[in-house]
Structure formats: C-alpha cells, structure tokens
Amino acid sequence: MARMHAEDLIIRPAQTEDEKELSALNRAAWSWQSDVAPQPAEGDTVFDERHTPDQFLLALLDGRIVGYIRVVPPTPLASNGHVRQIQGLAVSSGARGRGVGRALVEAGCAAAAEQGARRITLRVLGHNAPARRLYEACGFVVEGSLAEEFLIDGRYVDDIWMARSLLG
C-alpha cells in the first residue's frame, strides 16, 4: 500500500469555508460500520450551532480534505472539564491505510492536551474493527461497553467506550 511522505500531509483547524468539501466527505464516508444514524442527505451541513468549525481538525493531501476529527468537551459541566471526547472521525475511502487516521487521532489528542485536558474518551461500535485497531494503536484502552446498545441493519451491536490519558 502506498505510504505518504509526512510532509505531504497537512493537519489544520477547520474554517466555515470548508463546509462544502467536508460535508461531501462526511456523506461519502458514511456506513453502518461506523454510524448509528442514517446517511446524511445531500445538502445536509456538517457545521451547525452545536458542530462548530473550531471543534474540527482537517487532514489535507494535495490541497484536498481527506479526513477530519472532531474533539469536544463531553458535557458543559465544570466538573467534567478535564475531559475531551472524540465525537467524529473519518478518512475518505481513497486515502485510508496511509496513516491519515492515526495522524488525526494524534493531532486531536495533542489539541485536547493543549486545552488542559488530562483524559480523552470515545465511543466506537463493537463491529468497527478498523477504528478499534486504530484507537488501540494510538494508546486507547477499553474501559467499558454497553451490550447490544444499537440495532443496526438488523443486528444488535455493542457500544464500546475507550479512553486514553493525556498526562505525561
């Protein structure tokens, strides 16, 4: 599989102007392996009042957006303020297997640490093997699971909770 040169990949914060390209990527990357809601319709936007550009980091290859990660506080509570959560990660199918996902997860963790978080969490479907391997490779460990939490495409699927310390 083709490996990219590290200097080819750019990771940068999202901007409002990225909406069109990002929503197209998000729609194309959708599948029941990773998603719990139906595929976004054409014209659906990624950014809204709760999904703001400052929450997203984008991966670009040759000037085109090939992936994104969204990292947010899991709740607005001050008592929960030391935690960040990955609530969105996707790489376009043509750019997978080249380290883009790993680079996005590492960049998301670094951004969370810069914001002062000491812990980062995520939820992943039990049957999403590529994502689970990626998170494990990035140092996340399973902390729990909700058995048969989702009924997806006729099958009950577990909701796996993973976390990684941002200290040290």
Q: Which residues would be at the binding site for ligand COA (CB under 6 A)?
A: 29, 34, 89-91, 96-102, 124, 128-131, 133-134, 137
* Among 124, 123, 125, 62, residue whose Cα is nearest residue 94: 62
Place of tokens 């969105």: 88
Smallest gap from residue 112 Cβ to ligand COA (A): 16
Specify the DSSP class assigned to residue 56: E
User: H or E stretch including 135?
Assistant: helix 129-137
Total residue count of the chain as it appears in this document: 168
Smallest gap from residue 89 Cβ to ligand COA (A): 4
What is the spatial distance between Cα 91 and Cα 23, in angstroms, rounded to a whole number?
A: 12
Instruction: Specify the residue, 13 or 97, whose C-beta has the smaller distance to ligand COA.
Output: 97
Instruction: Specify the residue, 20 or 133, whose C-beta has the smaller distance to ligand COA.
Output: 133
What is the spatial distance between Cα 66 and Cα 150, in angstroms, rounded to a whole number?
A: 28
Smallest gap from residue 136 Cβ to ligand COA (A): 7
Instruction: Specify the residue, 29 or 58, whose C-beta has the smaller distance to ligand COA.
Output: 29
Instruction: Specify the residue, 59 or 166, whose C-beta has the smaller distance to ligand COA.
Output: 59
Residues 70/123, Cβ–Cβ less than 8 Å:
no
Smallest gap from residue 65 Cβ to ligand COA (A): 13
**What tokens does 83 get?**
């935690």
* DSSP H helical ranges for 16-123: 19-29, 100-114
Smallest gap from residue 52 Cβ to ligand COA (A): 20
Instruction: Specify the residue, 92 or 166, whose C-beta has the smaller distance to ligand COA.
Output: 92
